[in-house]
Amino acid sequence: MAEKSHKKQWISLSIYLQYSIENINNGSFFYHLYFAYLTIKNILRYTYISVLLSCFAALNAQLNSFAYKAAKLTGTFGVYHYQPIDLNANTSAEVADIFIDELDNRGIVLKQNDIQLISKNKTALFDQINAGNNDFIINATEVYRRALKTVDSVLNVLSSKTLNFNENDTAYFLPLVTKPFYSPTLKYHAKRIERYVKSKSYDRVCNGEEFDKIPEKDFNANAQEYSKTIIENF
C-alpha cells in the first residue's frame, strides 16, 4: 500500500512540475517553494518523470522544447534547493537510469542491446541539455519505437498460431526490488513474451468464477481463448 501511495504522489507531483515548467517565465513562486521540500534522491526521480517523460511524449510536436524546458528546470537545482545539486556525469547517469527503468521496468519491451543503445552518452545528458542538444531523447525515441515494432511482430506471430499449453515450461517472477532483467537475444525475448502471454492466460482461467467447474479437457481451450484477448490488449 505504501508503494502505491508513493507512486500516486510521484505522478501528481510530475503533473504539477510539468505545469510549472510551462509557466516558469511567469515567475512561479510555488514552483520553487515546492522544490525546497524534496530530497536529493527524489528530486532526481521527479526530474526524470516531469522533464524527460513529459517532453518525450510531446517530442514530435515540440522537438526543440525538450532541452529548453529541461534547462529551465535543472537551472533551479543549484539556486532554489536547500541542498544544491551538482549537474555532473553521475547525476546525469542517475536520471537517465531512472528514465530507462520507467520506460520498461519489466523488461517486456526493451532488450539488453536496446538498453545499451539508450544508455549511450547518458553521463552527458545534462551537458546536452545545457547546450540545447536533443540527441539523448531523439535516440531514446527511435530505440523505443523499434523495440515496440519488434514486440508487435512477436505478438503477430503468436496470434497466428495455437499456443501449446501442455508443454513443460517455467515462468519466473522476480521480487519487486530486483532490477529489471532484459533479454539478451531476440529469440529469448520472443520466448519470454510467449511465456508472459501463457502465464496471463493461465491466470485468467484459474481466477474465473467457473474455474472449479471446468473439465480438464477444456482448460487449455479456455486458456487459448483468453490468450487472444491478452495479445490484443498487450
Alpha helices for the chain (secondary structure H): 2-22, 29-35, 40-47, 54-57, 65-74, 89-103, 112-119, 125-130, 135-159, 186-206, 216-232
pLDDT digits (tens, 9 = 90+) for 4-18: 433 443 343 344 333
Domain spans in the chain, listed from the N-terminal domain onward: 2-151, 161-232
Distance from C-alpha of 121 to C-alpha of 136, rounded to nearest angstrom: 8
Distance of CA 98 to the CA centre of its chain: 9
Looking at the chain, how many residues does it have?
234
pLDDT digits (tens, 9 = 90+) for 115-128: 999 999 899 988 98
Beta bridge pairs of residue 188: none
How many CA atoms are closer than 13 Å to the CA of 36, on its beta-carbon side? Answer: 6
Least confident of 21-30, 52-61, 123-132: 21-30
Distance of CA 112 to the CA centre of its chain: 15
pTM of the model: 0.68
